[in-house]
């Protein structure tokens, strides 16, 4: 049981590392698992404030991806942002809590972040 988890995580990390190397050559090639990412975004109520294309209560994922384009620490910064609850200012000026999504494990969360970063 534990071994399967550990191995799976190592494998996914290896795959993610490979995807990053690929991405350096072709920016659109981040190999996020789209279905898993969208399911997690839905489960986490992210679409209440975000959309892929349009600014709602929060910047679109496209805008976020563009903001982080070319930044080496983008993944880590967004993982940190999504790992803890914190207050954010929404577009209409109020304060709301930013809740972490219900990710199964670190790889699941990283997949969501990679998906967001490949929307730009």
Rounded Cα distance, 55 and 40, in Å: 20
Q: Record the tokens describing residue 55, joined without a space.
A: 């600014």
Structure tokens at 103: 């990710």
Q: How far is the CB of 96 from ligand HEC (least distance, A)?
A: 4
Task: Write out the residues near ligand HEC by the rule CB under 6 A.
Answer: 41, 44-46, 48-50, 57-59, 64, 67, 77-78, 81-82, 88-90, 96, 98, 101, 112, 116
Q: Of the two residues 3 and 73, which places its CB atom closer to ligand HEC in the complex?
A: 73
**How near is the Cβ of 26 to ligand HEC at its closest, in Å?**
23
Output the smallest distance, CB 98 to ligand HEC, in A. Answer: 5
Which CB, 14 or 106, lies closer to ligand HEC?
A: 106
Nearest Cα residue to 75 out of 102, 41, 110? 110
Closer residue to ligand HEC in complex, CB, 7/77: 77
Tell me whether residue 2 is exposed, middle or buried, using C-beta atoms within 10 angstroms of its C-beta: 0 to 12, 13 to 18, 19 or more: exposed
CB atoms within 10 A of CB 107: 19
């Amino acid at each position: 049981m534990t071994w399967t988890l550990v191995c799976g995580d190592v494998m996914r990390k290896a795959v993610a590392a490979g995807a990053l190397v690929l991405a350096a050559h072709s920016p659109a090639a981040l190999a996020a698992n789209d279905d898993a990412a969208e399911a997690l975004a839905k489960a986490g109520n992210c679409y209440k404030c975000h959309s892929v294309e349009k600014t709602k209560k929060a910047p679109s994922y496209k805008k976020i991806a563009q903001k982080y384009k070319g930044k080496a620490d983008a993944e880590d910064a967004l993982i940190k942002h999504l790992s803890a609850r914190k207050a954010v200012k929404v577009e209409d000026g109020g304060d709301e809590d930013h809740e972490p999504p219900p990710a199964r494990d670190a790889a699941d969360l990283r997949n969501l972040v990679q998906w967001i970063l490949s929307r730009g």
